[in-house]
Amino acid sequence: MADETDILFSISTPKVVSKADYKLARIKMDAVEAFSRITSQGIFVADLFRNRFMYVSNSPLVLLAIQPKR
């Protein structure tokens, strides 16, 4: 079985994310926000380059962080 990190980064990933990429991501986050308003689903979008959330929906669901086993 493959390691989780191997699966996550098996796709070609850029080393640097430009301001233009984040500008495009903001447009996509507007679409995610619109989708979130018409559903009751919990939607979370993470920015893996900056290690932060780009979008967290207002649903009553709880987001739990799970630490990997060492």
Model pLDDT for residues 1-58, shown as the tens digit of each residue: 455 555 555 566 677 888 998 899 989 999 999 988 888 777 888 888 888 888 888 8
Contact partners, residue 61, CB within 8 Å, separation at least 6: 42
State the SS3 of the chain: CCCHHHHHCCCCCCCCCCHHHHHHHHHHHHHHHHHHHHCCCCCEEEECCCCEEEEECCCCCCCCCCCCCC
57 with 40: CB under 8 angstroms?
no
Q: What is the pLDDT of residue 62?
A: 58
